[in-house]
A and B are shown apart, each in its own frame.
Chain A
Amino acid sequence: MTRLLPAFVAIPLVMAFVLPIFGKKGKSTATVLANLATVTLLILAIASIGKSGVYEVGNWSIRVGIILVLDGLSSLLLLAISVVSAAAMLFSARYMEQYTAKAKYLSLFMLMVAGMNGLVLSGDIFNLFVFLEIASLASYALVGFGCEHEELEASFKYMVLGSIASTFILFGIALVYGNTASLNMACVSKAIQSSGLNPGLAFALALFIVGFGLKAALVPFHAWLPDAHPSAPAPISAMLSGILIKTLGVYALARVVFNVFGVSVQIGWLLVALGVLSMVAGAFLAIGQWDFKRLLAYSSISQIGYVVLGIGLGAILIAEKANPAWASLAILGGLFHLVNHSVYKSLLFLTSGSVEMSTGTRQLKQLGGLAGRMPVTRTACTIASASIAGVPPFSGFWSKLILVIAAVQAHFYWIAAIIVFVSLCTLIMYLKVQRHVFLGELPENLQQVKENRGPMLVAMIFLALLCVFMGLLVIVPSLRANILDPAVKVLTDGPKYWAPILKANMFATEGKIL
């Protein structure tokens, strides 16, 4: 498996360069090729569960070359990325017929997937930045794809804030390089552990938190998300909300804070504060929305707050050297919520796209009574809403339960109370969605809507089945041990995690002449 690691980046990149050649006449060939590529990536990601390894690009040894690292956290995120991108690509086979230049859309989509895969696998801080930029640029172009008024405005806002975030991150990387003379995450981590945090490195950490927080849309930095996610085409909204903000924001933040810098109590409290603020603000702002996708976008902000809260709680418990089982439970809750949210939020955005394609509108006040006309969409949306609100047998319930138990166990009762309260708010907002979109009576201008057919339904049913069965990931011990526990172990090990990588490769190749 280690030898196949570059394929995660190479396959979507080659597809991205080959697809625009097809142009308008070869649209169906291009779509078939793109779907084949995402399904291949899904198969590769499933094959990489439970494995780990280091791949040196170009056979350069670790101190001088770029490495690709596969570990538990990377394989968990690769799985999430491939599932959501396969579903979104299948959905867009029929949805993007509304737009022309479909080949360019497919090429940009593949670039975004390549960027995200590369970011998750990279073992080098600057390589992480380059792939982050590739994915961000592709997403800026995709948000404004339809070229109507609002889409361009949203794309501009997203681009300005995203570019500021990237500049902050690059500044942080420059400071890290200046202080530690290396770009490889393992070597940087070793240097920081031995020398401690001087003011330059502390400033770099602050810049990283702001930069990655902007990409993850945590609350003081969330201003771009409610405009960008509704304006994008529906499968792109699913990708953005489902995996882009998690990979570019939460994964990179967790990697840098836990594995490279090492946690401290202040950083943990900062993450908890950001998480709580995002949860509460996102939930309150979402309840008052009357645009379907804008409500879903604000709810994304709230759910990312859950993930960051879980991770921050784990950080505090690790830094205070409390019982390690508590920290593992908190981080397990956060990471499981991350994976869950990818699945059900992308399913919600896909159902909203299906509704929009049939009825032509996104405003809740103009929809109603679609339950009889669009049964599959309705079932999928109900499953996803129940899941995100935390109704028992679906996947969302388990992750929220784990977070509440972790908070109570660590004697942070007020955090548990806030989690329960925000879950209640989430239930309210999704009941509002269900009542206005699917129940109630059908307005006159919507009498002729019919269900969509074909690949869109397959994608939605696939994600809905995942929503129903993903609770098994924590209940069945063997699945949890293979998929979730390695990811948790990566974060709880913290900076000690790099030791096996360095020992295995650096000293072995120390004497190699370049």
Chain B
Amino acid sequence: MPYALCFLLFTIGLYCVVVKKNLVKIVIGLAVMEYAVNLFLIMLGWRTGGTAPIIDKTYIEPGTTGKILDSFINTSVDPLPQALVLTSIVISLGSLALIISICIRIYEKYGTFDITEIRRLRG
């Protein structure tokens, strides 16, 4: 069920990119799509009754150096999607910075944010 809502958020972002006429609104739609995918990726790691995958002193087996308790491994949420989402957020940050600066330069050149008027390339 949460996955379906995530997909709904994704389609809302896609709708925004396709329909809106303002450059900045298109960029916001793109950002909403990326949030939806990141959310989906994190929710994949959920385990019912799980705990955060951060190792503390209490989770290390006493007496050894660094062996982790089995109870921790059995109840912690999957940490791999969290690493994937971290990478994905960094990538979308870079992409968003680039696309916003291009929007600003387009405004300086064309004088408008409306995509129906920024149509010099056609045919």
Contact = CB atoms under 8 A, between A and B. Distances in A.
Q: Do any CB atoms of chain A lie under 8 A from CB atoms of chain B in the complex? A: yes
Interface of A: 126, 130, 133, 137, 140-141, 144, 147-150, 152-156, 159-160, 163-164, 166-167, 170-171, 174, 177-178, 183, 226-227, 231, 288-289, 294
| A-B complex: 10 closest residue pairs judged by Cβ atoms | A174-B41, A178-B44, A227-B121, A133-B91, A167-B33, A152-B106, A170-B37, A149-B109, A159-B99, A171-B37
B8 interface: no
Interface stretch (B49-57, B69-77, B81-89): B81-89
Contacts of B14: 164
Interface residues of A: mostly helix, strand, loop or mixed?
helix
Contact of B110 (A149, A166, A171): A149
Contacts of A148: 109
A163 B105 contact: no
A160 B110 contact: no
A171 B91 contact: no
B44 A164 contact: no
A137 B34 CA distance: 15
Given A153-B106, A174-B44, A137 B120 contact: no
A159 B33 CA distance: 14
* Interface SS of B by simple majority: helix
B33 A164 contact: yes
Contacts of A156: 23, 99, 102-103, 106, 118
Contact of B88 (A154, A170, A178): A170
Contact of A177 (B23, B34, B81, B123): B81
A177 B110 CA distance: 44
Contacts of A227: 121
Contacts of A288: 123
Contacts of B87: 126, 130
Interface of B: 10, 14, 17, 23, 26, 30, 33-34, 37, 40-41, 44, 80-81, 84, 87-88, 91, 94-95, 98-99, 102-103, 105-106, 109-110, 118-121, 123
A126 B99 CA distance: 23
A160 to B, nearest CB: 6
Contacts of A183: 80
A160 B20 CA distance: 13
A140 B98 contact: yes
Nearest to A127: B87
B102 A144 contact: yes
A167 B44 contact: no
Given A160-B17, A170-B37, A289-B123, 15 more contacts: A137-B95, A140-B99, A153-B106, A153-B110, A153-B118, A153-B119, A159-B102, A160-B26, A163-B95, A166-B95, A167-B30, A171-B37, A174-B81, A177-B41, A183-B80
